[in-house]
Structure 1
Amino acid sequence: MTRALLTLLSALALTVGLGQLPAFAAAQPVTPGTIWTDSSGSAIQAHGEGVLQVGGTYYWFGEDKTGGSAFQNVNCYSSTDLRHWTFVNHVLTRQSSGDLGPNRVVERPHVVWNASTSTYVMWMHIDSSSYGERKAGVATSGSVCGTYTYRGSSKPLGNDSLDDNLFLDGTTAYFMSEDRTHAKLQIYKLSPDYLSVASLANTLPQYEAPAMVKAGGTYFLFGSHLTGWSTNDNQYATASSITGAWSSWRSFAPSGTNTCNSQTTSILPVTGSSGTSYLFLGDRWNSGTLSDSRYVWEPLTLSGTSASISCHSEWTVDTSTGSVAVVNPGTTGTSVIRGVQSNRCMDVKNASTGSGAAIDLYDCNGGGNQSWTLNSARELVVYGNMCLDVPNQSTAPGTKLEICTCNGGGN
C-alpha cells in the first residue's frame, strides 16, 4: 500500500484537486459536462471530436448535431489555449445526394497532416441511417480549416468500419475502426499519401470509439464497450509496437463512473516548455437531443504502462508550459486523496489525532481524518496541524507513513 500511495502522491498536481499552482491562478478552467460556447456565444457543435495542433494553434473537428443524427456539417474551431474557441468553417457540408447527402451518417472525423504531399487528410465513418453500410470515408484539403474535398468511401480490405480514428506515428499513419461483422477492432496501415488502406497492421478484441497515443516507448489504445449511446467503463491496452502483442484490457477511470459518464473520442498531447501533459477527450451523448451532448475532457496520467483519469469538475491547462492543474472551487486546497484502483481514501487510521498515527486506505466517508490540505509550504496537512510524514526521515523502500506535527522537514 505504501509504495502505491507514494506513487499517487507524486502525481498530485495531475490527479488530485489539492490547490492550484501559481501559474494557473488566472486561467479560466475547463468544466467537463457543461455547455461550452465559442467566441460568438453559440454552443460548440463538434462531437465525436479530434483535435489537431498546427504551430501554436489547436483545431477542433467534429460533428454538427444541431439537426439531430443526420449529417449536416463537419465543423472546425480554433484555439490557442484549449479553452477559448472560435468557429472557423464548415469544412465538409451536406450535399444533395451521395455519401454526404440527406439522411446520411457521417461520424468521428479525424484529421492528420501529410508532410510529403502538403495535404490535410480526414477520415470518417460513412453510413446509411440504418448503419447498414459501415464504410470509411476520406476527404482532403490544402489548409487545415479550409473546405475539404470528399474523395469517396470504402470498406477497408472489405471489412466493416464503424467508430474510427487516426494515429500518426512519425510519418506513418494508421486508421483504426470497429469491425462489427468479425467482432474485432482493426488497425490498418495507410498508404504513403494517407488516402487508402495499405495493409492490416493488427487485429484486437472488439471495442468501439478507439483512440491511440504514444508516451515514451509505449503505445496506449483506448476504447469503449458496445452499449450504444449509453456510457460504460471504457478500457485501454498497451504495446511496445503497434504490430506486436498488446496487453490485456483494463479500466483507466474510477470504477463505476462509466468513464466519468462519457465515451472516449481522442487523446490529446499538450507539449510546452515544462514537458508534455495528456488530455482525455470524451463525449457524453444525449441520445434524445444529440445537439445537447456534452464534452468531457479530463487530465490523463500516463506512467510506464499505466493510464488513469479522475472525474474532476474543473481544471486548467497552460498550453505554453504543457501543464495542467485541478481546480476545487470554493475550497482552500482541501480534498480527499482517492486511490484510482481502489476508489478508497487516504485515511488516518482509527481517526487518531496523535503524532505517529498510521496512514491507511479506507472507504471514503467524509471524515476529518480523510480531509487533506495542501498548504503554501507544499505540506499535506490533516486536522489543521498534523502533516503527512515519513517517520525518522527514513528513505528506505517500504517505510510506513504516519502523521506528525508539522515541522518543515523534507520528510
Structure 2
Amino acid sequence: MRRHPPCPAALFAVLATLFASLLGGLGPAEASPSPVTVVNATQFTDPAGLPVHAHGGGVIKVDEYYYWFGEDRNPDNSFRYVSAYRSADLRTWEFRGHVLSQATDPELATANIERPKVMYNRATGQFVMWMHKEGSATDYGEARAAVAVSSTVDGDYSWRGSFRPLGHMSRDITTFVDTDGTGYMVSAANENADLHVYRLTADYTGIEARVQKLWAGQSREAPALFKRDGVYFLVTSGATGWSPNQQKYGTADSITGTWSPLRDLGDGRTYGSQTAFVLPVEGTSGVTTHLYMGDRWGNSMGGTVNDSQYIWLPLKFPTRTTLSMDYYPQIIISTENGTVRGIGDWNTLTAAHSGKCADAADWSVAEGAPLIQWTCAAGSVNQQLWFQGVGDGTVRIMLRHSGKCLAVQDASPDDGAAVVQTTCGDAPGQTWKSAQAGPTGMRLVAQHSGKCLDVADRSWSDGARLIQWTCNGGDNQKWRRSAL
C-alpha cells in the first residue's frame, strides 16, 4: 500500500493534540482542587449566590465530582424537590437540577420526601435513589420507603413507588454499598424504636431480606453506615424531633454479625446537629478521611427546614473500633490529599474571683447572645475560645461552638455595656488587648474603649453577665487562660 505524507490539516491536529497533552492540567477543568476552608453553622451558596438546599442528604462520588442530593422544602416545610448539586472540592456547589419533584409522579403531588440517598449499581448502570416517604409534612402515619432510578447521576429520576419493607414501618433512611457490591438500606422502624438493616436485590431497587434488627427499643433515627479497615460503623441520633441530642454509634466486623452496644459520639447535643451522612474523602495517594455531615435544623432555632445550617466535622479513630469527633467552627478539606482537619487553638477563660468560665448562655449560636460566667465543664465547646492575633498586639476571641467573636455590644464606650457574641469581622468592639494582672492572671481590655472584661457586680453566681467596666484591678477583671 502506498503511503501518503500527512496533509497540513491532519498534521496541525496532531500537533495541537500533542501541545495540549504537554500543557497537562493547566486548564481549570483538569486542575486538582486546592484545599478549601468550610465554615460550619452556615448555609452553602452556589456560584449564583443562592442557598444550597440539600438537607437530610447524601453524597456520591462519580469520576472527579461529588454529587450531593437533599431536601428542598416549601416555606411550610412540605416537600418541593430533591435537589442535586456537584462539587470537585466539597465547598463550591454547582446546582444541577431538581431531580425529583411533586410533578414527577401523581403519588408525589401531596407526599413528603425526606433523606434521599443515591447509590450506583455497576451491574445495571443505574443510579438508585432511596428515600423516606410520608403522606404529608404533618402526618407521619405512612412510614414508607420509596425508590426512584436514573441512568445519569444528576438526571431526572423515575419514580418506582413506595412501600413498607417486608411490611415494617420505615422512616429515616440511609444506604450503603459494600466492597463486594452488595447493597443495603437502613431505616428507623417500629415508631423509630428500632433500626432495621435490609439487604437489597441485585438491582438495588427492592428488598431481598432483613438481616439485622439493631438496638431494639432504644429509639434511634438518622442512620449513617460506613466501613473502615474492615469494621462497619453505624452512627445514629436519638429521636427528639428537631432538637439536637446525643449521637451514638455501634460497630461490627460483619453487617450480619454481632453489633457492639451504642457509644456516645460528640457532646450531648452533637454540637447542635443531627446525622445526615458520613462521606469517605479518598485522596489520590490512598489517604482517606471520613467526614461527618450533619444538619443543624432550622426548626430547632425557630425557623424552617430551608433555614437549616450544615455541620461538617472530621471523624477520628482512636482505635480500629472506636470513633470520636470534636467541633471546629472551620475545617480545611483537601479532596486531592483525602484530608479534613479542624482549625483553631482552643482555650478556656476562667474568672480569678469565682473560678467559673466565660460561657455562651444556653449554648446559644444567635447573633448578639450574651456572654456569662458558668461552672467550668470539660468538653463544653461553648466555653472554649480561640485567641486570633490581628496585629498591633490585639486579638479577636472566637467562641468554638458558634464561630462568632467576643464583642462589646454595639461597640459601646459605656461602663456596664454587655459583652456578647457577634459575627467575626473588622467592626469596632471585637478587638482586645491582654495585660498581665498578677503572676497567673491577665486583664482583657477592649481596644475601642480601653475598658476591661468584667463579671458584673463581682458575682460568684452561675449566669452572672460579662460586661465591660473601667479597669480597677478587681479579681472579677482578672482571667486565667488555659490551653486545651
Cα distance, 1:95 vs structure 2: 2.3
- CA distance 1:132–1:84, change in 2 (3 Å): same
Cα distance, 1:313 vs structure 2: 0.1
Structure 1 runs of 4+ with >4 Å offset: none
Cα distance, 1:88 vs structure 2: 0.4
Cα distance, 1:311 vs structure 2: 1.2
- Match of residue 286, structure 1, among 291, 298, 313: 298
- Match of residue 45, structure 1, among 53, 73, 96: 53
Does residue 1:114 correspond to 2:150, yes or no? Answer: no
| Structure 2 unmatched runs, 5+ | 1-33, 349-376, 382-438, 441-477
The answer to whether the 8 A contact 1:162-1:180 is kept is no
C-alpha offsets along residues 255-297 of structure 1, whole Å, 9 cap, x if unaligned? x3x1110000100000113400010001111123221011111
C-alpha offsets along residues 72-122 of structure 1, whole Å, 9 cap, x if unaligned? 1100000000010000011111128643113x2100000000000000000
TM-score by length of 2: 0.63
Match runs of 1:195-210 below 5 Å: 195-205=205-215, 206-210=219-223
- CA distance 1:179–1:86, change in 2 (3 Å): same
- Match of residue 131, structure 2, among 124, 134, 138: 124
Structure 2 residue identity aligned to 1:231: P
The answer to whether the 8 A contact 1:135-1:162 is kept is yes
Does residue 1:266 correspond to 2:277, yes or no? Answer: yes
Point out which structure has higher relative CO (alpha carbons under 8 A, 6+ apart). Answer: 1
The answer to whether the 8 A contact 2:36-2:334 is kept is no
- CA distance 1:226–1:366, change in 2 (3 Å): farther
Q: Mark the structure with the bigger radius of gyration.
A: 2
Does residue 1:316 correspond to 2:329, yes or no? Answer: no
Whole-angstrom CA distance in 1 between matches of 2:261 and 2:199: 22
Secondary structure of 2:306's partner? helix
Q: Using the aligned pairs only, state the percent identity.
A: 40
Whole-angstrom CA distance in 2 between matches of 1:366 and 1:161: 52
The answer to whether the 8 A contact 2:171-2:192 is kept is no
Structure 2 residue identity aligned to 1:294: Q
Secondary structure of 1:78's partner? strand
The answer to whether the 8 A contact 1:49-1:60 is kept is yes
Match runs of 1:228-377 below 5 Å: 228-254=241-267, 256=268, 258-274=269-285, 275-287=287-299, 288-302=303-317, 303-328=319-344, 334-336=345-347, 343=379, 367-368=480-481, 370-371=482-483
Structure 1 residue identity aligned to 2:337: T
- Match of residue 43, structure 2, among 14, 25, 35: 35
Cα distance, 1:371 vs structure 2: 2.6
Structure 1 residue identity aligned to 2:119: V
- CA distance 1:139–1:306, change in 2 (3 Å): same
Structure 1 residue identity aligned to 2:343: V
TM-score by length of 1: 0.74
C-alpha offsets along residues 176-228 of structure 1, whole Å, 9 cap, x if unaligned? 10013482100000000001000011001241000011010110001111100
| Structure 1 unmatched runs, 5+ | 1-25, 329-333, 346-351, 354-364, 373-411
